[in-house]
């Protein structure tokens, strides 16, 4: 199963600065879990893992010039541990534009 909207993803990552400073590193910890499309991670990070499958790894750079709010380029390594349909009902992101009011599909 591939990383795509409304899938539960478990991933581990390392984020470093250009000089090797560690901003975050959970490579040897429990995976971070989130629902793709829920806003749980930076949109640029999500774009870079979209389409990956469990077991795949990817390295990429988030450029400060392309990411509002970043004060420097960030070097990211990601491992996808799991992708599943096992998503809590409230976490599902709807793209149905007819949802509104009490019938909100958010």
Mean pLDDT of all residues in 74-96: 79
Q: Is residue 60 in a domain?
A: yes
* Number of domains within the chain: 1
Q: Is residue 92 in a domain?
A: no
Q: Is residue 101 in a domain?
A: no
pLDDT at 30 over 70: yes
Report the CATH number that the domain containing residue 48 is assigned in CATH: 3.10.50.40
Q: Answer yes or no: pTM beyond 0.85.
A: no
pLDDT at 105 over 70: no
Sequence-distant (≥ 6) Cβ neighbours of residue 38 within 8 angstroms: 91, 93
Q: Is residue 2 in a domain?
A: no
Range of the domain at 75: 8-85
Mean pLDDT of all residues in 82-88: 89
Sequence-distant (≥ 6) Cβ neighbours of residue 93 within 8 angstroms: 5, 6, 35, 37, 38, 106
- Name the one residue in this structure whose structure tokens are 């750079």: 61
Q: Is residue 57 in a domain?
A: yes
Q: Is residue 26 in a domain?
A: yes
98 vs 77, higher pLDDT: 77
């Amino acid at each position: 199963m591939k990383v795509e909207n409304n899938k539960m993803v478990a991933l581990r990552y390392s984020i470093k600065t250009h000089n090797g400073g560690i901003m975050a590193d959970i490579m040897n910890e429990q995976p971070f879990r989130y629902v793709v499309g829920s806003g749980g991670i930076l949109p640029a990070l999500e774009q870079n893992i979209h389409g990956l499958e469990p077991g795949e790894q990817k390295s990429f750079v988030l450029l400060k010039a392309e990411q509002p709010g970043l004060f420097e380029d960030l070097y990211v390594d990601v491992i996808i541990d799991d992708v599943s349909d096992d998503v809590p009902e409230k976490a599902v992101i709807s793209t149905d534009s007819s949802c509104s009011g009490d019938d909100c599909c958010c």
